[in-house]
Chain A
Amino acid sequence: MMIDGNHNPEDVTRVLFESFPGWAVGVFYVVGFGAIAVFLYGCFVQYRKYARGQSLRKVLPPLKDRLLQMVVSVGTHRTLRRRDRSAGYAHALIFFGFALLFIGTATITLEYDILAPLIGLKFWHGNFYLLFSLALDLAGLWLVAGLVYMMARRGWLKPPKLNYARPDRAADAPDANRSFYQFEDWAFLCLLIIIGITGFVLEGARLLWLQNTPTVWDYRWWSPVGAVVANALSLVGFTPEGAGSLRISIWWFHAIISLTFIALIPYSKAKHIFTAMSSLALRDPLPVQKLPPVDMSADTVGASKITDFNWKQLLNFDACTKCGRCHEACPANASGAPLSPRDLILTLRELAENTLEGIRQPEPEKLIAQGNGVFQVPTETLWACRTCAACVEICPVGIEHVPVIVEMRRALVEQGDMDPLVQKALQNIQKRGNSFGETKKKRPAWTKKLDFEIKDARTEAVDVLWFVGDFASFDPRYQRVSMDFARILKAANIDFGILYEDESNSGNDVRRVGEEGLYQHLAESNIALLNDCDFKRVVTTDPHSFNTIKNEYPEFGGNYDVEHASAFLARLLDEERIPLKKGLDGRRVTFHDPCHLGRYNKGYDGPRDAIRKLGADLVEMKRCRDNSFCCGAGGGRIWTPDPVGKEKPSENRVREAATIEGLETIVVSCPKCMNMLEDARKTTNNEDNFEIREVVELIAECLDDSAISVVAQEHVAEPA
């Protein structure tokens, strides 16, 4: 090349295939197209796998909303930064570095291979090129920096959630060992970092080689990393010619390894580039709150084979990056149950990979997803789930684990395969409409202890229809809360009533156990009853009933204005409609968020507002709000005792609260949490240290109920 001191800055451009003989360029194109062909075939295999799943039965929000939500999630990395900020930022460096480099390379291809040959358009020169060169150099730096952190994290920091030991397999099970994923993790990181580093070496070698070309050398600081490498090469003795031959070998190495990476994307964890984004774009706003509908007239119900899952779920399985956030959040896993949401998803992914990626689908027996074999999910794993949604809530790529578990439970229920105690509870509900096995007559028995009568919403119009729920009606401890709630409503002059004997179990947990037929029966009978009553809103102290009435009853024709008692009471307190005679005087309390109120329905603030309004000193536990730790009672687990000898979720929770110095009260806002935490308080020997109280009870404690007594007397004075 001629030395020309007066070159036109517009001539500055990307050096491409410089000095390459025609055959070498040809070889590169052959290899390149080969890699793309392998990539495309891999994508097709994945597509064919997903196409072997069922169609979606649930209607998702409009595509544009979901895409926007995905773009925002990916763009801000908000889901990746949660509960692991440094990994989130490191991923952002890798992601944006990779994305920019990809865009850069794609733009070169666009100009060189498409626009220039076709319409003679060239834009890859001058200032545009220089800015791009700078940006891509920085992108490469981000990429390498992010990868270095991730390697340090895996190699030295070793967070426990990245340990792939499985709680759902015996140590000697043939598929107990998942260390091959570690090999893949490292291979992925190494491949990317080699691509990044060789890119810089290549750039440096090229600069040094072309140091006599002013359109290259004079502008080298627009590629700062490359320029530093060029200087370094020169320092260690490389001549321009030596750099030229280094450039040729590094060029081919960089090209081959980059093309290999592209070819491997659909076959390796790199596919999460696509599956994670698709999974986020398919996110269901109410995945657990409103479980997927069931075609009750179909031959089979639920998922027993891998092909019984829908294509979105099959895609979800492939989106998992094993980040371990769900594994860490899961209360079942924390209490030693054989369930890790991560391992469940990976097992199903492996089953799908091994059965649905071939040209032909294997015979149906090989597709069975539930069992004790390789690539199968054991029944104990499925029944260990509390449906607390901690996994779904934290998953950075939008995997919806709980509906997967419920679909598999539905199949088990259909086969009649479940714990005898769950069976008993369901039979009680079938027969008597409540899980306690009590007669219908006894449901309103607790109201007799009140010194006033609660209106019968079946026969009288009321403002507030109080859906009491099973535990609030039959559990002796919580009956006290129900009575307090009645007294508060009375004192606040609320016009309210209950359904007495005719209320049935709301069905929330029945549905989460997977007994869809019974759920629909319960929902339909409650809805038929409610539709015959005259009321303005439904209020309940039970977050489980609250959830299903709010989110699931509409599907069966029950559309009501529903409010949880905590929010309702907080509002009444705010409006100063509840007469109070005292406050809580800085009592040191903490609040345990019920899953069905908090994570499910974002009811984080109602109970807190009420607690603060009463003047208590609310100290938060470390795991609070969206990261609240389930008491262990959800998903039907209230009906089965946890195994002896292991720490129960409720005990784990009470011990967490016990670390708060001077704690006087754990406040709950759910009958089931009350039941579980009361037990755990005793089994952890904390009986003398603090008490478990409902938000309702705290208000009742401060209530000025002189008004009620008057009302009660009037009531007595009235002729019957």
Chain B
Amino acid sequence: MKILVPVKQVEILDEDFDVQDDGRSIDPDCIEFELNEWDDYSWETALQLMEKHEGTVEAVPMTVGDESADDGLRKCLAKGGERAIRVWDDSVAGSDPIAIARLIAAAAKKEDAQLVLAGTQSTDQAHGQTGIAVAALLGWPHVAVVSALDYSAADGKLTVRRELEGGVEEEIEVALPAVLTIQLGINEPRYASLRGIKQAKTKTVDLLSPADLGVSTDQLGETGSAARVRRMYIPERSKAELITGTPPEQVKRLIEIVNELKGA
């Protein structure tokens, strides 16, 4: 069985950051990238399956992104796995989650994967759509927000658990092929040592273009996306102040604030 694990390098903002002049994105100088937290868990899930069913299960991380996204794949490969896939060309820029899902679904077909393990959501955009969209595009069953998983190689079935409201758990049996989105806490992701990350540089990252996957450019980028970002802004912050001092001082400050708010 081959498992495809789509991962994403997410944006981490500096404490002080600026919105770009176009009003639709953040100044890249204020951004650092790191692997999406959920993807640490989905990749760990894949690795554990691979280790438990040694020789019969192969896990391949993939990402959609430019060269800088390789770091995320290296971090995955530092922990295990032999090869990774990165999909990119300029036509991909500006894609929404559905357009990204088209590339992942196409890669799953090309790789003949039977299982796609995506993170439930990303820390930066938090759409929570990509994994589910992949299932829809492939016509495969999906289970979202999975908190436990067991795979039986004998009958090729997955038994997964989800946590519901009020402390109820739900157990679902899924036939392969399938798409799961993985929730935080399903396991304890291992650490990628710096030595491992360096050694992972010798592992293969296959660079594919949308054309290689048979996805046409009109299904990608802003043209291929149903949603586009109109505006990105920092909402005005409400203020709070702890008034200290003697009671007369506190009253004085309180009157000042009231007057300020009245615009006096």
A517 located at the interface, meaning its Cβ lies under 8 Å from any Cβ of chain B in the complex: yes
* A439 x B191 contact (CB < 8 A): no
A420 located at the interface, meaning its Cβ lies under 8 Å from any Cβ of chain B in the complex: yes
* A516 x B190 contact (CB < 8 A): no
* A301 x B191 contact (CB < 8 A): no
Chain A residues near B194 (CB, 8 Å)? Answer: 430, 515, 517-518, 521
- Closest B-chain residue to A522, C-beta based? B194
0/1 string, A386-422, CB within 8 A of B gives 1? 0000000000000000000000000001111110101
0/1 string, A502-541, CB within 8 A of B gives 1? 0000000000000111100100000000000000000000
0/1 string, B59-76, CB within 8 A of A gives 1? 000000000000000000
Task: Choose among B188, B193, B198 the residue that contacts A414 (Cβ–Cβ < 8 A).
Answer: B193
B81 located at the interface, meaning its Cβ lies under 8 Å from any Cβ of chain A in the complex: no
Chain A residues near B14 (CB, 8 Å)? Answer: 439
Chain A residues near B221 (CB, 8 Å)? Answer: none
0/1 string, A684-706, CB within 8 A of B gives 1? 00000000000000000000000
* B190 x A517 contact (CB < 8 A): no
B32 located at the interface, meaning its Cβ lies under 8 Å from any Cβ of chain A in the complex: yes
* B191 x A516 contact (CB < 8 A): no
Chain B residues near A301 (CB, 8 Å)? Answer: 195
Q: Once bound together, how far apart are the Cα atoms of A430 and B188, in whole Å?
A: 19
Q: Once bound together, how far apart are the Cα atoms of A498 and B32, in whole Å?
A: 26
Q: How large is the interface on B (under 10, 10 to 19, 20 to 34, 35 or more residues)?
A: 10 to 19
Task: Choose among B34, B79, B189, B195 the residue that contacts A296 (Cβ–Cβ < 8 A).
Answer: B195
Central interface residue in A301, A418, A517, by most chain B CB within 10 Å: A517
- Closest B-chain residue to A519, C-beta based? B194
Chain B residues near A423 (CB, 8 Å)? Answer: 191
Task: Choose among A413, A420, A422, A431 the residue that contacts B193 (Cβ–Cβ < 8 A).
Answer: A413
Query: In whole Å, how far is B71's beta carbon from the nearest beta carbon of chain A?
Result: 10
- Closest B-chain residue to A420, C-beta based? B188
0/1 string, A555-580, CB within 8 A of B gives 1? 00000000000000000000000000
Q: Once bound together, how far apart are the Cα atoms of A439 and B30, in whole Å?
A: 11
* A416 x B195 contact (CB < 8 A): no
A488 located at the interface, meaning its Cβ lies under 8 Å from any Cβ of chain B in the complex: no
* A418 x B195 contact (CB < 8 A): no
Q: A439-B14, A439-B15, A517-B198 are in contact. Are A416 and B34 (CB under 8 A)?
A: no
Central interface residue in A416, A515, A521, by most chain B CB within 10 Å: A416
Q: Once bound together, how far apart are the Cα atoms of A422 and B192, in whole Å?
A: 12
A426 located at the interface, meaning its Cβ lies under 8 Å from any Cβ of chain B in the complex: yes
B224 located at the interface, meaning its Cβ lies under 8 Å from any Cβ of chain A in the complex: no
- Closest A-chain residue to B32, C-beta based? A431
B94 located at the interface, meaning its Cβ lies under 8 Å from any Cβ of chain A in the complex: no
Query: In whole Å, how far is A494's beta carbon from the nearest beta carbon of chain B?
Result: 33
Query: In whole Å, how far is A514's beta carbon from the nearest beta carbon of chain B?
Result: 9
* A416 x B198 contact (CB < 8 A): no
* A414 x B196 contact (CB < 8 A): yes
0/1 string, B170-195, CB within 8 A of A gives 1? 00000000000000000011111111
Q: Once bound together, how far apart are the Cα atoms of A396 and B197, in whole Å?
A: 41
Task: Choose among A415, A418, A431 the residue that contacts B34 (Cβ–Cβ < 8 A).
Answer: A431
Q: Using a CB-CB cutoff of 8 Å, which residues 184-229 of chain B contact chain A?
A: 188-198
* B15 x A418 contact (CB < 8 A): no
* A416 x B191 contact (CB < 8 A): yes
* A416 x B15 contact (CB < 8 A): no
- Closest B-chain residue to A429, C-beta based? B194
Chain A residues near B198 (CB, 8 Å)? Answer: 517
* B191 x A426 contact (CB < 8 A): yes
List 16 contacting pairs A-B, 8 Å CB cutoff, sorted by A: A413-B193, A414-B195, A416-B79, A416-B189, A416-B193, A417-B191, A420-B188, A422-B191, A427-B191, A430-B194, A431-B34, A517-B193, A517-B194, A517-B195, A517-B196, A517-B198
The 3 closest A-B pairs by CB, nearest first: A416-B190, A517-B195, A517-B194
Known: A418-B191, A420-B188, A431-B32. 20 other contacts (CB 8 A): A301-B195, A413-B191, A414-B195, A414-B196, A415-B190, A416-B79, A416-B189, A416-B190, A416-B192, A416-B193, A417-B191, A422-B191, A426-B191, A430-B194, A431-B34, A439-B14, A515-B194, A517-B193, A518-B193, A518-B194
